[in-house]
């Protein structure tokens, strides 16, 4: 069998790519703005270097135009984020550029907040409004009382602006509502986080263990490419998932674990690896601390103990543990990405980290490689003001000892006057590329906070649920119409990638860098944007990093030399960046903060009779809610469905394709949504893709299609270690 995966293999796992379909997907009729590269003659094909923003994984690619019209978007072959193959969403980027529903000009609110009554404004008027409000807030409450939510590359320009202003609270739902537990679990075990792109050496793995992680439906290109390559080379795949996912369909072992019991499964695997002495003895002795404590702690966690909890048979637990050991160290217990499930998430992910340590896979081929980043000097700017207060000073539930970022829901609490008692900590929010009404559970709390603010600024490309709550809406360009900062994320190879504009901005939209710089001028902060234009800024940085803007426009991605080895050498005297200098199987830091030093299984609440646990995930054709209105992708996958086990469907008399509604434990009723009756899910849960059920009428293609999982999340299971917002604790019943 060929070891190089081809496009067909990739498509089989990731769903169909669009390729040239993007041309026929409705874009041809539109008259586009002025072409940057001045094309006019017949059949002229031109390509522009970009990195994708259809999700935030930033795959590098080429935007091709033919006779000045959008033609196709392809991956850059030199790029390790995508290996030249973009996912379905990435190839549909022109759909965003071409979306007639896009925000066209700045808007200023003229009625009650949330009523969505705005007047169109000039950029100057919008900036005057914001600058004057920010001035008032600073004078009355201090600059620290402005918080910024962000997701996506353009956010960095506003971080510079707000740091210059004096803000200290930078919040990302992609932390407390996504991968936060993973980063803190690995930090507290190996001293280093996983980060993005994941440092998983999956293409070389001989055994891949996926706990949830639904690669294939989760279509981060690098992950899908590497998973496909490993599968092509015959790797053993073990998937623990209550649902038969796309990844499970490639697996030798599908373990339909009872939702919420993965920690018991992981502890049983650890128990087998230790009792059968299958661990890497040299690695454990050389690099870890706390083995004896771990051994003692998991003594009772046998496969027989785990069986009634997880419903996975003891022999399956033993067989899979042996399979992992047989392939070690090229065994990867995948750390996952979206881990905020049940509130004990840091501990669950840490159990996987411990298992990786026992198998000796950290720093080893087929396990985790040691990533490097390109050195990227900053453009010199004056020092930012020193701040007096930070989010840690609010008493609104953000004192998580091991959190490394502000917690999104904590910022809401610290904004609501009645929660804080008198003066709230936050008076102003900037929101860039984050639809927090879709991304954060307990929507009522978010809305209460929005109502209590003195200033809400939203920078977006589309009129989404959150733009409806803004005082000022600023229309960013799509990523295809702008430069952004140089991508220099971690990887096997230190890489640089350039995003440059393929088109002039449409309507009266402006690139994020321009908005931040011009608003900076109005606020008297121009010294933090000392460059004349973005090309000068980028060229300065690129030259320092060993390239130039001219070169990057031609190649898009530049690979630099590594300075350190990719793996830890066998027997190498390696010091881990933890307190002990070793991998901490037993964590003193966790113990000192009153947490279990070795993960311990705790039971989670179960649904009452007639109720089912609500699980959710991804469509390969969509990114969250952000692509549901895309003219191309909305045709590929127009609405979501609720997966229901046939036994349950029979009991309720539900048929596939029928419209139903879901009602959660707090009597919140969903929009109507189609049922999908399938053996591919356990009877104790239901499943739906996140992002649908838009309530924003201005999104003409997304409005009212399918149901929103977020709406049903009135309960949150908080991770006491880092404040993660566990969203798997909601139960639903059917309204047929
Ligand atoms: N197409 C597409 N790809 C994306 C994204 C997107 O929006 N669209 N978003 C990206 C982002 S930011 C993230 S964080 C990732 C998220 O993607 P992942 O990190 O893969 O998300 P998970 O929550 O791990 O995966 C959801 C799976 O977990 C299963 N599951 C639910 N409950 C349990 C349980 O108790 N135990 C176990 N073992 N499994 C369970 C579900 O059935 C489902 O198959 O995807 C990324 N990739
Ligand atoms: N119920 C539920 N909640 C979830 C999840 C879930 O699966 N279910 N997933 C969680 C996860 S894993 C994550 S990472 C978070 C992510 O949630 P968010 O932080 O909200 O991130 P996105 O959904 O990527 O961001 C969406 C916004 O970015 C805008 N946007 C797109 N491109 C651009 C651009 O170029 N410029 C600007 N200015 N704006 C742009 C879109 O129009 C949209 O309004 O949500 C979390 N919340
Ligand atoms: S994974 Fe897909 S949508 Fe995300 S950046 Fe890469 S190509 Fe774009
Ligand atoms: Mo995420």
**Tell me: the pLDDT tens digits for 206-230?**
999 999 999 999 999 999 999 999 9
**Tell me: the pLDDT tens digits for 676-725?**
999 999 999 999 999 999 999 999 999 999 999 999 999 999 999 999 99
Mutation test residue for ligand 2: of 147, 150, 177, the one with most atoms within 8 Å of CB: 177
> Do 300 and 184 belong to one domain?
yes
464 Cβ below 6 A of ligand 2: yes
**Tell me: the pLDDT tens digits for 394-435?**
766 677 888 888 899 999 999 987 665 556 889 999 999 999
Atom of ligand 1 nearest to the CA of 626: 7
C-alpha 700 – ligand 2 centre gap (Å): 19
> Do 211 and 274 belong to one domain?
yes
**Tell me: the pLDDT tens digits for 226-263?**
999 999 999 999 999 999 999 999 999 999 999 999 99
Nearest CA to ligand 3 atom 1: 220
Q: Does residue 375 fall inside a structural domain?
A: no
- What percentage of residues in the chain have a pLDDT greater than 70? 93
- What percentage of residues in the chain have a pLDDT greater than 90? 89
Q: Does residue 41 fall inside a structural domain?
A: no
The DSSP output letter for 175 is: I
Q: Does residue 653 fall inside a structural domain?
A: yes
Q: Does residue 53 fall inside a structural domain?
A: no
> Do 318 and 271 belong to one domain?
yes
CATH number at residue 399: 3.40.50.740
Q: Spell out which residues line ligand 3, taking CB within 6 angstroms.
A: 52, 54-55, 57-59, 82, 86-87, 89-90, 219-221, 623
Structure-token pair, residue 451? 């109502």
How far CA 273 is from CA of 302, 317, 328, 346, in Å, comes to 11, 11, 11, 21
726 Cβ below 6 A of ligand 2: no
> Do 238 and 273 belong to one domain?
yes
270 Cβ below 6 A of ligand 2: no
> Do 229 and 134 belong to one domain?
no
53 Cβ below 6 A of ligand 2: yes
**Tell me: the pLDDT tens digits for 263-315?**
999 999 999 999 999 999 999 999 999 999 999 999 999 999 999 999 999 99
**Tell me: the pLDDT tens digits for 135-170?**
999 999 999 999 999 999 999 999 999 999 999 999
> Do 443 and 528 belong to one domain?
yes
Q: Does residue 15 fall inside a structural domain?
A: no
C-alpha 179 – ligand 4 centre gap (Å): 6
> Do 321 and 218 belong to one domain?
yes
Give the pLDDT of residue 397.
61
CA–CA separation, 365 vs 367, rounded Å?
5
434 Cβ below 6 A of ligand 1: no
> Do 116 and 257 belong to one domain?
no
Q: Does residue 117 fall inside a structural domain?
A: yes
Provide the domain count of the chain: 3
C-alpha 689 – ligand 2 centre gap (Å): 14
Q: Does residue 359 fall inside a structural domain?
A: yes
Give the pLDDT of residue 42.
57
CATH number at residue 677: 2.40.40.20
Residues facing 661 on adjacent strands? 735
Give the pLDDT of residue 399.
78
> Do 360 and 416 belong to one domain?
no
Give the pLDDT of residue 200.
98
696 Cβ below 6 A of ligand 2: no
Q: Does residue 130 fall inside a structural domain?
A: yes
> Do 359 and 398 belong to one domain?
no
Nearest CA to ligand 1 atom 31: 615
Please write down the HEC assignment for all residues of 425-436.
CCCEEEEECCCH
239 Cβ below 6 A of ligand 1: no
CA–CA separation, 514 vs 459, rounded Å?
12
Can you tell me which residue has the tokens 């392809």?
Answer: 74
C-alpha 249 – ligand 3 centre gap (Å): 23
724 Cβ below 6 A of ligand 2: no
> Do 357 and 310 belong to one domain?
yes
Give the pLDDT of residue 398.
72
Give the pLDDT of residue 28.
26
Give the pLDDT of residue 16.
41
How far CA 282 is from CA of 188, 288, 329, 362, in Å, comes to 22, 10, 12, 14
- Per the prediction, the chain carries an average pLDDT of 93
C-alpha 138 – ligand 4 centre gap (Å): 33
C-alpha 728 – ligand 4 centre gap (Å): 15
Structure-token pair, residue 372? 């490097």
Mutation test residue for ligand 3: of 22, 87, 222, the one with most atoms within 8 Å of CB: 87
Give the pLDDT of residue 676.
98
Domain coverage including residue 218: 177-370+580-592
Give the pLDDT of residue 152.
95
Q: Is the pTM of this model over 0.75?
A: yes
Classify each residue of 90-111 as buried b or exposed e, where b means 16 or more C-beta atoms within 10 Å of its C-beta: bbbbbbbbbbebbbebbbbbee
> Do 224 and 304 belong to one domain?
yes
The gap between the terminal CA atoms of the chain, to the nearest Å, is: 49
Nearest CA to ligand 1 atom 13: 338
C-alpha 27 – ligand 2 centre gap (Å): 24
Give the pLDDT of residue 587.
97
Mutation test residue for ligand 1: of 14, 211, 338, the one with most atoms within 8 Å of CB: 338
C-alpha 212 – ligand 1 centre gap (Å): 6
C-alpha 695 – ligand 3 centre gap (Å): 25
CATH number at residue 338: 3.40.228.10
């Amino acid at each position: 069998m060929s070891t190089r995966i081809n496009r067909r293999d990739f498509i089989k796992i990731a769903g169909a790519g669009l390729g040239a379909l993007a041309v026929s997907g409705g874009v041809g009729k539109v008259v586009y703005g002025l072409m940057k590269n001045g094309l006019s003659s017949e059949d002229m094909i031109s390509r522009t270097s970009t990195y994708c923003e259809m999700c935030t994984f930033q795959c590098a690619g080429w935007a091709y135009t033919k006779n000045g019209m959008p033609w196709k978007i392809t991956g850059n072959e030199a790029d390790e984020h995508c290996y030249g193959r973009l996912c379905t969403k990435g190839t549909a980027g022109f759909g965003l550029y071409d979306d007639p529903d896009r925000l066209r000009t700045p808007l200023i609110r003229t009625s009650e907040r949330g009523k969505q009554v705005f007047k169109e404004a000039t950029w100057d008027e919008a900036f005057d409004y914001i600058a004057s409000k920010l001035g008032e807030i600073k004078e009355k409450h201090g600059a620290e009382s402005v918080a910024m939510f962000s997701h996506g590359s353009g956010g960095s320009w506003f971080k510079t602006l707000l740091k210059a202003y004096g803000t200290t609270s930078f919040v990302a739902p992609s932390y407390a509502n996504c991968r936060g537990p993973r980063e803190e679990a690995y930090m507290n075990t190996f001293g280093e986080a996983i980060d993005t792109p994941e440092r998983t050496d999956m293409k070389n793995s001989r055994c891949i263990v996926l706990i949830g992680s639904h690669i294939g439906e989760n279509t981060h290109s690098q992950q899908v490419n590497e998973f496909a390559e490993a599968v092509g080379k015959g790797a053993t795949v073990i998937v623990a998932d209550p649902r038969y996912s796309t990844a499970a369909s490639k697996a030798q072992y599908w373990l339909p674990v009872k939702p919420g019991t993965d920690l018991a499964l992981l502890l049983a695997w650890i128990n087998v690896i230790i009792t059968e002495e299958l661990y890497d003895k040299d690695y454990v002795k050389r690099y870890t601390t706390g083995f004896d404590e771990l051994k003692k702690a998991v003594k009772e966690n046998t496969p027989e103990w785990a069986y009634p909890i997880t419903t996975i048979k003891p022999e399956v637990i033993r067989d899979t543990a042996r399979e992992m050991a047989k392939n070690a160290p090229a065994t990867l217990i995948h750390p996952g990405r979206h881990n905020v499930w049940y509130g004990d998430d840091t501990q669950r992910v840490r159990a996987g980290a411990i298992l990786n340590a026992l198998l000796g896979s950290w720093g080893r081929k087929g396990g985790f490689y040691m990533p490097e980043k390109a050195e990227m000097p900053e453009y010199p700017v004056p020092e930012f003001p020193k701040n007096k207060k930070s989010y840690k000073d609010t008493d609104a539930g953000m004192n998580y000892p091991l959190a490394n970022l502000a917690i999104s829901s904590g910022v809401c609490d610290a904004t609501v006057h009645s929660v804080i008692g008198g003066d709230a900590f936050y008076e102003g929010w900037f929101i860039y590329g984050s639809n927090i009404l879709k991304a954060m559970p307990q929507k009522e709390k978010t809305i209460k906070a929005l109502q209590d603010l003195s200033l809400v600024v939203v920078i977006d490309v589309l009129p989404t649920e959150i733009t409806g709550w803004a005082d000022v809406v600023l229309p960013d360009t799509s990523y295809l119409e702008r430069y952004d900062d140089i991508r220099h994320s971690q990887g096997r190879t230190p890489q640089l990638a350039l995003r440059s504009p393929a088109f002039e901005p449409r309507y009266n939209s402006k690139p994020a860098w321009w908005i931040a710089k011009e608003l900076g001028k109005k606020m008297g902060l121009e010294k933090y944007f000392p460059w004349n234009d973005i090309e000068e800024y980028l060229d300065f940085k690129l030259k320092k990093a060993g390239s130039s803007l001219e070169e990057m426009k031609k190649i898009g991605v530049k690979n630099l030399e590594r300075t350190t080895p990719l793996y830890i050498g066998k027997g190498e005297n390696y010091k881990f960046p933890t307190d002990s200098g070793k991998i901490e199987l037993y964590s003193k830091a966790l113990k000192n903060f009153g947490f279990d030093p070795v993960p311990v299984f705790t039971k989670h609440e179960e649904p009452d009779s007639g109720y089912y646990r609500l699980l959710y995930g991804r469509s390969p054709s969509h990114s969250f809610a952000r692509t549901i209105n895309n003219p191309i992708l909305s045709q590929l996958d127009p609405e979501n469905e609720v997966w229901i086990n046939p036994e349950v469907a029979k009991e309720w008399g539900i048929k596939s394709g029928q419209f139903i509604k879901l009602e959660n434990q707090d009597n919140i009723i969903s929009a109507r949504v189609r049922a999908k009756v399938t053996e591919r899910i356990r009877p104790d849960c239901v499943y739906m893709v996140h992002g649908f059920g838009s309530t924003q009428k201005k999104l003409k293609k997304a409005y009212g299609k399918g149901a929103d999982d977020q709406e049903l999340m009135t309960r949150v299971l908080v991770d006491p270690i880092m404040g993660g917002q566990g969203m798997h604790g909601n139960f639903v019943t059917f309204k047929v």
